[in-house]
Amino acid sequence: MKASFQNVRGDILRIDNFVRQMSENLTSLSQGQARILDNISELAAFQVELATRIERLEKGSARPVRRTARKTVKRTIKRSSRKQAKFVVSKSTNKLHVSTCPFAKRVKPKNKAMFSSKKKALNEGYKPCDCMKKY
């Protein structure tokens, strides 16, 4: 009989240890679950913030583009010693160049427009390059 009581006592101790381990595992799982729930709530708040930022950006891009008033040039000073120069305009930068200007030579063909007079180009709203000081 003594042996059977010892076997039962050993079984009870093993079950007790098993129950303690399961309790510890359950406690750590519930702590992990609480951390996960905190992370989810932080992510939800961040998602709302991102949505409002995106909304603001979309509204901001719908604003009309402000255009400056174009100045009309009434006359330009002609220099008799100079040859009739061709003027090159860059559509991408809105700059007016003399055809001999190094910057004019670098303008890509798709962005290039030619003018026969400085006055016409200035009336179209193009800004003169520094090379235009001679003309």
**Per residue in 75-94, pLDDT tens?**
666 655 455 558 999 888 88
Please report the pLDDT score of residue 22 as a whole number. 92
Please report the pLDDT score of residue 53 as a whole number. 87
| Type of residue numbered 97 | H
| Residue-range definition of the domain harbouring residue 17 | 1-61
70 belongs to a structural domain: no
Question: What integer is the mean pLDDT of 60-66?
Answer: 56
Beta bridge partners of 112: 90
Is residue 47 located within the same domain as residue 98? no
68 belongs to a structural domain: no
Determine how β-strand 95-98 pairs with β-strand 87-90: antiparallel
24 belongs to a structural domain: yes
From 10, 43, 61, the end of a domain falls on: 61
| Residue 47 near residue 39 (C-beta atoms within 8 A) | no
Phi, psi of 90 (to 5 degrees): -100, 115
Rounded to 10 degrees, the C-alpha dihedral 116/122/125/126 comes to: 70
Is pLDDT of 14 > 90?
yes
